[in-house]
Amino acid sequence: MTYTGCQSKSKEITLTERVCPKCGNIIELFSVDTEVACDKCGFVAYNDTLSCVQWCKYAKQCVGEEMYEAMMAIAKRQKEAG
pTM > 0.85: yes or no: no
String of DSSP letters for the chain: -B--S-SSS--B--EEEEE-TTT--EEEEETT-SEEE-TTT-PEEE-TTHHHHHH-TTHHHHH-HHHHHHHHHHHHHHHHH-
Asked, for residue 4, whether it belongs to a domain, the answer is no
pLDDT tens digit sequence for 13-53: 788 899 999 999 999 988 778 789 999 999 988 876 666 77
Read off the amino acid at residue 58: Y
Whether 7 shows a pLDDT value over 60: the answer reads no
Residues whose CB falls within 8 Å of the CB of residue 54, separated by 6 or more in sequence, listed in order = 72, 75
Report yes or no on 23 lying in a domain.
yes
Residue 10 lies in a domain: no
* Domains in the chain, number: 1
User: Is 5 a domain residue?
Assistant: no
Structural domain of residue 27, as residue ranges?
A: 15-81
The more confidently predicted of residues 17 and 55 is: 17
